[in-house]
Amino acid sequence: MAYKLITAEASPSTQKAIQLAFPAPDWEVTAFDNGLELTKMIFEVHPDALLVSLSLPGLDGYSVGRFVRKQEEFRHTALVFLKGTFEPFDAQRAEGVDFDDVVAKPFDSAKLAMRMKNLIDAKGEHSRFPESPIPAEPAAPPAAAATPTPTPAPTPEAPLTLTSPTPASIPQAAPTPADAELERRIQEVLRRELVGMEREVEKRVRLQITVELKKWFAEHYIGLPSKDK
């Protein structure tokens, strides 16, 4: 059974990176770009873990984390925050929220996926691990004697019990060359996204300065008498 992960991230490029980091069939990802929508749907999804950006429309990550921890059934669910590269983490706003980690963007996909898996396994919330052993079938009663001569009763078999695997017994997969290539592609996508944002900001600033200069020249020079007159 796949791990159920809820993510909340407003950036489409980061959402894509998360989808690549947590592929099916090992992960079942439910993505939101709004904190308020997450709080409405969490009871239907009932996730094993949450990966929540601190900057979200509707409700920000701090508010989402506070809401999650107030719900008894999600009090111990794995909770990791995502923050921007230059975004400060406000410890005061996070006070009282029992979160597990804060990860900066852009992130290492393989390390993030392993971190989330280890948190889920350590908390013991995942449904693939049974909460109690499967009971053994009751032993059949001894057959009735056909003659007065007593016959020995069959020795009952020892009850069969199945133990749940512990996190320490689960092998941890080492990063593969495919993981490294995936990480390289994600980093490239994020770099292009940041460059595009920087160019857009530069274009808008240049346009604003041009408008202001035109206005200043119009007010100070247009219509003024020449020095020869």
pLDDT band at 72 (very low <50, low <70, confident <90, very high): very high
In the predicted structure, residue 145 carries a pLDDT above the cut 90? no
Peptide bond into 156 cis (omega under 30): no
> How many Cβ atoms from other residues are within 10 Å of residue 93's Cβ?
15
pLDDT of residue 209: 73
pLDDT of residue 175: 63
Convert the pLDDT of each residue in 114-124 to its tens digit.
999 999 999 87
Weakest mean pLDDT among 1-5, 133-137, 149-153, 194-198: 133-137
Residue ranges of domains in the chain, CATH in brackets: 3-129+167-172 (3.40.50.2300)
pLDDT band at 149 (very low <50, low <70, confident <90, very high): low
pTM above 0.85, yes or no: no
Convert the pLDDT of each residue in 12-70 to its tens digit.
999 999 999 999 999 999 999 999 999 999 999 999 999 999 999 989 999 999 999 99
Give the C-alpha separation, 16 to 185, whole Å. Answer: 11
Give the C-alpha separation, 65 to 27, whole Å. Answer: 22
Q: For residues 73-82, give the mean pLDDT.
A: 94
Q: Which two tokens stand for residue 99?
A: 């979160």
pLDDT of residue 213: 67
Q: For residues 132-143, give the mean pLDDT.
A: 48
Task: Give the mean pLDDT of the chain.
Answer: 77
User: Is residue 112 a contact partner of residue 71, using CB atoms and an 8 Å limit?
Assistant: no
